């Protein structure tokens, strides 16, 4: 949770200027009428608990010299941590409550929140509350549910095949980012002999995120094994597995089945001195974003120095630059498949580029050495698929102003998207009625090179809100940046628009600054 206090001066002045000018000074604001000019205390201790497409916010009640009547919730898909940052989702207003459920959210997307208090005179807390964050996920229940806050429990363990084990938990879980396989131990039930866990990953076919798949060393058919999950495994509320309470499960091992096209190799007698043919590479593919699988024509034996003899370099790199770390894909682990015909290279995250693999330190069972010339020329990194799921960055400094009051024209301006991936294809503008509306009409394409647009045919005397998003070449659309503007009627309102625009500009800038 981040403490991002930002002053909120000038808001009352802006609203007063607008009211006084539009009514010719006949009306006074509620603040002036009541004589209350004291802001409520800042909101503290805000918590955010994720659910399925929703997040429950809770906070301690704020105090005021007269009394708090409402709260405002500022929300965004990015944290507000430095001067100039702004929450990019519409502000939500609540009654005098100390909890609120924000719904219709996107699962897997982190959200960030700050809360302020408002009194009957319209005075608002000087500073935002400390920031709270949460990420909604499918199948996750909100706080208050029966199992909320409970530690995840192992409910089922079963061997899928001779080297794969499926583990099911009582709720959605998350694995540690580094070496997730180390969070599990598997031993025989009678002798306590350890069965190595080589890989741990989420089961992509389970949308509830409660199922894991473990890759193990070859199991012994019919032997009972006991699996234990460590405290590194947590639910989505960061509650860890509790040791000694439903953190274990047993399963019967299965035999490793040799694929039909490999049985001839397995049934052959031990290699003899007459075998002089070295192994060859059949294929190489990046099956994960951090792994490359190299398949050979026969079982291979790695040497003790294999890590020094295998290199993965960006394809097309000049000979003089092949030792430059920027061109090298780092290897973090090297392992063999059960039948010893597939070499798994665990790598750093791959970029969406082609890599050239140089192989060495490998022989077959007869000792015939693999020649580096037999290595595949290139393999395509999986980064391309990951990048295609990421939208461009949102635009910044998105502002709206009244350009021509007589013709009811509003001008929108913004600073273009950073577009770090270089695949920006379009900006889309959405229009809604109301100051902080969450309902917008159908988006309109603006192209990818513009940084301003005029909106016409509007109704004077109304608030308008706009959402501006960025879309890449594969159709990924950013969450969007929001702004709103009041279009006054002609006459005295012209002055109000000018005064309010200046003061609201000061207000919006100052509330983003840290104290």
Tell me: pLDDT of 85 over 80.
Answer: no
pLDDT at 17: 46
Beta-strand ranges (E) seen in 77-180 are: 92-94, 99-102, 111-119, 132-134, 154-161, 164-169, 173-174
Is residue 262 pLDDT above 70, yes or no?
no
Q: Name 168's Cβ contacts closer than 8 Å, sequence gap at least 6.
A: 154, 155, 156, 157, 210, 211, 212
Residue % of the chain over a pLDDT of 90: 17
Where does the pLDDT of residue 307 fall: very low under 50, low under 70, confident under 90, or very high at 90 and above? confident
pLDDT exceeds cutoff 50 at 102: yes
Q: Is the pLDDT of residue 268 over 50?
A: no
Mean pLDDT lowest among 90-94, 128-132, 351-355, 381-385: 381-385
322 pLDDT more than 90: no
Average pLDDT, the chain: 78
pLDDT at 418: 87
Give, for 234, the enclosing helix (H) or strand (E). Answer: strand 234-235
- Angle among Cα 262, 266, 269 to the nearest 5 degrees reads 140
Rounded (10°) angle between helices 11-22 and 493-510 = 170
CA distance 117 to 112: 18
pTM, whole model, 2 decimals?
0.34
Given 3-state DSSP classes, what are the helix, strand and coil percentages for the chain, each rounded to the nearest 5? 15, 35, 50
Domain ranges in the chain are: 1-146, 154-252, 272-387, 391-489
pLDDT at 34 over 60: no
Pick the CATH number of 1-146 from 3.30.565.10, 2.60.40.10, 1.10.4030.10, 2.60.120.10: 2.60.40.10
Q: Do domains 1-146 and 272-387 have the same CATH topology?
A: yes
Do the beta carbons of residue 434 and residue 510 sit within 8 Å?
A: no
Q: Taking 90 as the threshold, does the pLDDT of residue 159 lie above it? A: yes
Q: What is the CATH number of domain 154-252?
A: 2.60.40.1220
Average pLDDT on 386-394 reads 70
- CATH number given to 391-489: 2.60.40.10
Give the residue, 31 or 451, on which the prediction is more confident.
Answer: 451
Give the model confidence (pLDDT) of 146-157 as tens digits. Answer: 444 578 889 999
Q: What is the pLDDT of residues 59-74, one digit of tens each?
A: 999 998 888 999 999 9
Place of tokens 């909320």: 148
Mean pLDDT of 264-271: 44
Degrees, nearest 5: CA angle 207-209-211: 105
336 pLDDT more than 50: yes
Residue 222 has pLDDT above 90, yes or no: yes
Tell me which of 17-31, 239-253, 305-319, 356-370 is least confident. 17-31
Residue with the larger pLDDT of the pair 342 and 388: 342
Looking at residue 389, what is its pLDDT?
Answer: 66
Residue 143 is predicted with a pLDDT of 52
Question: How confident is residue 472, by pLDDT bands cut at 50, 70 and 90?
Answer: confident
pLDDT of residue 242: 85
pLDDT of residue 84: 61
Contact between 381 and 286 (Cβ < 8 Å): yes
- What's the topology of domain 272-387? Immunoglobulin-like (2.60.40)
- The pLDDT value recorded for residue 155 is 92
Per-residue pLDDT reduced to its tens digit, 435-451: 777 788 888 888 888 89
């Amino acid at each position: 949770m981040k403490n991002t206090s930002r002053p909120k001066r000038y808001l009352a002045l802006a609203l007063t200027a607008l009211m006084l000018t539009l009514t010719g000074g006949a009306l006074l604001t509620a603040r002036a009428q009541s004589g209350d000019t004291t802001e409520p205390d800042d909101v503290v201790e805000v918590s955010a608990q994720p659910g399925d497409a929703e997040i429950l916010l809770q906070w301690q009640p704020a105090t005021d010299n007269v009394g708090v009547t409402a709260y405002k919730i500022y929300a965004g898909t990015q944290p507000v941590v430095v001067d100039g940052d702004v929450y990019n989702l519409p502000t939500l207003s609540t009654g005098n409550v100390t909890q609120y459920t924000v719904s219709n959210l996107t699962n897997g997307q982190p959200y960030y929140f700050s809360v302020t208090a408002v009194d009957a005179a319209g005075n608002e807390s000087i500073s935002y509350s400390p920031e709270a964050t949460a990420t909604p996920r499918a199948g996750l229940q909100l706080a208050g549910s029966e199992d909320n806050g409970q530690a995840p429990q192992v409910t089922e363990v079963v061997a899928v095949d001779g080297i794969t084990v499926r583990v099911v938990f009582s709720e959605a879980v998350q694995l540690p980012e580094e070496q997730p396989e180390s969070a599990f131990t598997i031993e025989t039930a009678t002798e306590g002999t350890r069965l190595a866990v080589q890989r741990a990953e989420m089961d992509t076919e389970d949308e509830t995120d409660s199922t894991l798949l473990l890759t193990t060393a070859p199991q012994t058919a019919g032997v009972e094994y006991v699996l234990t999950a460590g405290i590194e495994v947590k639910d989505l509320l960061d509650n860890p597995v509790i040791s000694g309470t439903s953190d274990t499960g047993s399963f019967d091992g299965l035999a490793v089945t040799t694929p039909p096209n490999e049985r001839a190799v397995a049934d052959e007698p031990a290699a003899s001195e007459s075998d002089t043919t070295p192994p060859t590479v059949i294929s190489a593919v990046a099956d994960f974003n951090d792994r490359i699988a190299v398949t050979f024509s026969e079982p291979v034996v790695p040497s003790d120095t294999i890590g020094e003899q295998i290199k993965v370099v960006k394809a097309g790199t000049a000979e003089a630059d092949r030792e430059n770390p920027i061109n090298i894909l780092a290897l973090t682990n090297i392992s063999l498949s059960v039948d010893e015909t597939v070499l798994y290279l665990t790598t750093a995250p791959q970029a969406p580029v082609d890599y050239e693999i140089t192989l060495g330190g490998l022989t077959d069972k007869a000792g015939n050495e693999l020649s580096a010339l037999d290595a595949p020329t290139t393999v395509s990194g999986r980064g391309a698929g990951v990048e295609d799921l990421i939208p461009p960055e949102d635009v910044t400094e998105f502002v709206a102003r009244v350009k021509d009051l007589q013709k009811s024209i509003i001008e929108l301006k913004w600073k273009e998207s950073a577009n770090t991936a270089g695949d920006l294809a379009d900006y889309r503008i959405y229009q809604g009625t109301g100051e902080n509306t969450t309902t917008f009409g159908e988006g309109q394409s603006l192209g990818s090179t513009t940084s301003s647009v005029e909106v016409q045919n509007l109704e004077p005397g109304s608030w308008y809100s706009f959402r501006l998003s960025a879309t890449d070449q594969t159709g990924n659309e950013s969450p969007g940046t929001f702004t709103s503007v009041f279009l006054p009627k002609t006459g005295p309102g012209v002055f109000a628009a000018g005064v309010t625009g200046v003061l609201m500009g000061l207000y919006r800038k100052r509330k983003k600054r840290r104290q």
